Structures are given as structure tokens and as C-alpha cells.
Structure 1
Amino acid sequence: MNATLSKIDAGGRLIIPAHVRKALHLEYGGPVVLTLVDGELRVRSVAYAMAELQAHASSYLAGDDASVDAFLAARRAEAAKEEGASADTPDQADATTMESDRGA
């Protein structure tokens, strides 16, 4: 682990040395994401944080998550019921017939 000693100035700002900013691809005035984890402060560029979130979401979506599969199966069954019910109602059939008679 690379440790670097730094300071917090009178205004409460943390001084991040140039070599650390360069290693993290942090630019002057650029936004950062601060995260507290187990008593530690983690500093990441927004671009890095977004890339990490996208990678996490991609791996989650690519995985075989049973709850997602169950949700999708239930939604497909519900949609199939709705399609079957709407085709069985006389009003829908009459409306479809009337539209085809008008040339719609």
C-alpha cells in the first residue's frame, strides 16, 4: 500500500499531492466522488466511478440472477394473459372488425 502524508488546510480542504492527482487522473476543478468505507476516505474521479458502476451493472445483468429471471417470467405471463384477454372481449373484436371495414 502506498501511503502519502498530507494535510487539511484552515479551510477544511484536503491537500492531494500532485503525484497522487496525476495517478488518479484528477484535474484542477474536476469533480470527484468521495466514499467513506470502514473509516477510510476514498477519492475517485467521476469518470472512474461511472466506469465502475457500468461494469458492475453489466456483470449483474449478464449474471443468472434468479430474482430477475423470476420477475421477467412473471411479467411475460402477465403480458400473455393481457393479450389473451383483450382478444377474447367482444368489444375489441367489434372494434377491430369496424376498423377493417373502414379500410383503416
Structure 2
Amino acid sequence: MSEETQGAAEVYTFAKPFTFEGQEIKELTLNFDDLSGEDIIACDRLYRAEQRGGISLAPEMDKAYQAYVVAKAAGVHVGLIRAAKAKDFTSLTLRARNFLLL
């Protein structure tokens, strides 16, 4: 896995490419800086709908919520983030946590 930056965006390269919905995924461009308040609210709504009452008091620390934020920053479906290998998933969700907590 490696990282490059393109302006405010970061290119995340997966440790090992994987296939999601018939496409080989090698890298993602993450642009946390372009997210709006509406984007974060949309992530929160999706997260809460999925949790069905088992909501975390600090969703910023919950990997399920962080996956939604990563997906929004990358412009992809959250299923792609969840399909990543554990090492890449953890690295991506840590980026979201750092963004959310700074």
C-alpha cells in the first residue's frame, strides 16, 4: 500500500488488488477536504439506518461509520470499502477517523 497526494486528494493504493462487482480495484482517490456537512449527515443517516438501534455514542470511532465516510470521500459504494482486505480496510478507516477527529 502506498499513498500519493493530488492537490487536496490522496491516492490510496491497495496492498493487493481485489475484485469488486467484476472490476479490479487497485487504488482509490480519497478527497476528505471536499466533503460537506451534508455529506457527513448523509453518512450518519446511512450508518444509523444500518445499525437499527445499536448506535454508538461516538460514531467517529466506529469502523462501520468510518467506512461510510471513506466511501463518500472516494465516491464509491460502501460495499467496496468493506470488501477490501482487512489491512487496507483498517488503513482506510483510520484515515477517516483522523479526518473526523481533527
Superposed pair shares fold, TM > 0.5: no
Name the structure where strand makes up a greater proportion of residues. 2
* Higher relative contact order (CA closer than 8 Å, sequence separation 6+): 2
Rg (Cα) greater in structure: 1
TM-score, length of structure 2 as denominator length: 0.22
